[in-house]
Structure 1
Amino acid sequence: MILYGLKTCDTCRKALKSLPDAEFVDVRSDGMPEPVLSAALAAFETALVNTRSTTWRGLDESERARPPLDLLREHPTLMKRPLIVDGEQMYLGWTAQTRAALGVS
């Protein structure tokens, strides 16, 4: 299981604490593997882009209009997090639904 997020993100730290066997990848320092990013975008579409983030608010309208894949490549911190990859399954966010699917309370 791999958890993609930010080491400074409280939600990512909560998820990692609940999933101690998960490998953590900091998308700011380590980047996001292209195949994982493409698969996540296919699975979650525009929900993958966190439009409530500080990074998003710092973008001008022309940048916001760019394709999500280009935005996420250039600004990995725009990704909603955490993104959890468990084999073929992907989960976005640390919601009650994600925790239930992973068997975590």
Structure 2
Amino acid sequence: MLTLYKIDTCDTCRKARRALDEKGLAYTTHDLRKDGLSASLLEHILEQVPLSKAINKRSKTWRELSTEQKESLDATSARRLLLEHPTLLKRPLLELDGQTLLVGYQEGDYDDLAP
């Protein structure tokens, strides 16, 4: 089963959902804003995605962080910020088999997925 970690207001997440729907793939969704981001889910994600790739530095939330927060970012403070602000997590994240996560979405990224 596929799991799509998303935020409803994210345009890229909507494109990813549309691509999955067009391929007829069954999937569940987890809205990072509504359903939350637990410490265990974050660690599960970070086991598969490097922290540097997991943080969305193009997000409004990132831009609103203080310069000090951005400059002093380390593994511990990044985890704390991600738990406090789940919208800092790059998205969408598509979990394929409980072990593989695809980060982000561009047209054609899901073409090789079988229904």
Q: What TM-score does the superposition give when structure 2 sets the normalisation length? A: 0.77
Partner of 1:52: 58
Partner of 1:42: 47
Corresponding letter in the other structure for 1:90: L
Q: Tell me the CA shift for residue 44 of structure 1.
A: 2.0
Query: For the structure 1 residues 100 and 33, does the alpha-carbon distance in structure 2 shift closer, same or farther, using more than 3 Å as the test?
Result: farther
- How far apart, CA to CA, are the structure 1 residues paired with 2:60 and 2:114? 31
More RCO (CA 8 Å, sep 6+): 2
- How far apart, CA to CA, are the structure 2 residues paired with 1:2 and 1:72? 19
Corresponding letter in the other structure for 1:47: K
> Between Structure 1 and Structure 2, how many residues are aligned?
104
Q: Tell me the CA shift for residue 100 of structure 1.
A: 4.0
5+ long unaligned stretches in structure 2: none
Bigger-Rg structure (1/2): 2
- For 1:7-22, list aligned pairs within 5 A: 7-20=8-21, 21-22=26-27
Which of 79, 84, 88 is the equivalent residue of 2:89?
79
Partner of 1:93: 104
Corresponding letter in the other structure for 2:9: T
Indicate the percent of aligned positions where both proteins have the same amino acid.
36
- How far apart, CA to CA, are the structure 1 residues paired with 2:78 and 2:39? 13
Corresponding letter in the other structure for 2:6: G
Q: Tell me the CA shift for residue 36 of structure 1.
A: 2.8
Task: Tell me which moved more, 70-79 or 91-100.
Answer: 91-100
What is the RMSD computed on CA atoms of the aligned residues? 2.0
Q: Tell me the CA shift for residue 99 of structure 1.
A: 1.9
Structure with a larger share of its residues in helix: 1
5+ long unaligned stretches in structure 1: none
Whether contact under 8 Å (1:41, 1:69) holds in the other structure is no
Whether contact under 8 Å (1:83, 1:93) holds in the other structure is yes
Whether contact under 8 Å (1:41, 1:48) holds in the other structure is yes
